[in-house]
Amino acid sequence: MDAPAASVGGSLRRWRTRRGLTQSAFAEACGISQRHASYVESGRSYPSRELVLRAAGVLDVPLAERNELLRLAGFAPMYGQRTLDDAEMHAVRHAIARLLDHHDPFPAVAVDADWDLLQINRSAQRMVGALCDLPALLAERGRGPVPNVMHLTFHPRGLSRSIANWSTVGPAIFARLRQETWSHPALATLVAEIQPWVPPTEPGTGGRGATLSPVLETQFVVGGERLDLFTTITTFGTAQDVLAAGIRVEHFFPADARSEALCRALFEQAEASGT
């Protein structure tokens, strides 16, 4: 008999299934017998704190969900859930600020695990301001003053209307976001919110475009000029806090010399005018 889903055994079974592990493979990776793993998953046996943490590591469970596994097993949470303003997060704030500031004149943003905006550099702030009415979008969404990058991107009056290859980029970004729900189930709400705005995948492309490229380029149209950018994502590799573990700094890089020159020119013009 299986344990309820809202139990430590049911949760471990769900994560094991998501990761595509058989019960025997899971047991071997955790250093326990398959019988013991079966008893834990069925609720006939409660795991020790050590086993919960070991199993969470084997299954690559996010820190917030590890706290929940510990709670379901009757133990105190292990990982902190600070905000970026907390004194203990000074080093994290400083690292993010350096990553963003040093990336000007190219856009860069920092987001949390829910894709809510944490910090933004001057180039990205100016680009967003030029391409959409952010205050109006925030007021319409009605969830406070913090923009959600995915909502801002997919909204019909958001960034999507200024992306020339949106029919290719939109489905690709959405597919990545939907995949993230496997490790961060809370994203399912955001996926449902933006799904009506996802453009149909171009026939025969699988959402990747007709030309095979090493990276997916986003073709922004800024002031009548096309700006081709691709992104890289930086994360904190040894995070021991729920927020820090979910932070991603996304850097936009020009895909060609023309786009680089345009980025630099737009940045210099804005700096000179003080806007």
180-233 tens-digit pLDDT: 988 888 899 999 999 999 999 766 555 444 445 577 899 999 989 999 999 999
Ranges in the chain, pLDDT < 50? 1, 207-211
pLDDT at 6: 77
* One domain, residues 64 and 92: no
Among residues 66, 106, 121, 76, the alpha carbon closest in space to that of 231 is found at: 106
Give exposure, 18-39, as e/b (b: 16+ Cβ within 10 Å): eeebeeeebbebbebeeebbbb
Residue 99 CB-half CA count within 13 A: 24
pLDDT at 176: 92
Structural domain of 61: 8-72
Give exposure, 132-169, as e/b (b: 16+ Cβ within 10 Å): beeeebbeeeeeeeebbbbbbbbbeebbbebbebbebb
The dihedral sign for the CA sequence 90, 244, 27, 68: positive
Output the six-digit token pair for 257.
Answer: 């010399």
CA 17 – CA 11 distance, rounded (Å): 10
Neighbours of 264 (CB within 10 A): 15
| Total domains present in the chain | 2
pLDDT at 5: 55
* One domain, residues 64 and 101: no
* One domain, residues 184 and 127: yes
CA 181 – CA 188 distance, rounded (Å): 6
Last residue in a domain, options 21, 49, 72: 72
Last residue in a domain, options 41, 72, 103: 72
Q: Domain for residue 107, yes or no?
A: yes
* One domain, residues 35 and 152: no
pLDDT at 270: 86
* One domain, residues 68 and 91: no
pLDDT at 210: 44
* One domain, residues 187 and 117: yes
Per-residue CA distances from 147 to 21, 103, 128, 138, 272 (Å): 37, 21, 11, 7, 27
Tell me, what CATH number does 67's domain have?
A: 1.10.260.40
Q: Are 241 and 82 in contact (CB under 8 A)?
A: yes
Q: Are 67 and 79 in contact (CB under 8 A)?
A: yes
CA 34 – CA 260 distance, rounded (Å): 56
Output the six-digit token pair for 180.
Answer: 């993230």
The pairs formed by 84-88 with CB atoms below 8 angstroms and a separation of 24 or more are 84/118, 84/119, 84/243, 88/241
Tell me, what CATH number does 239's domain have?
A: 3.30.450
User: What is the value of pTM for the model shown?
Assistant: 0.81
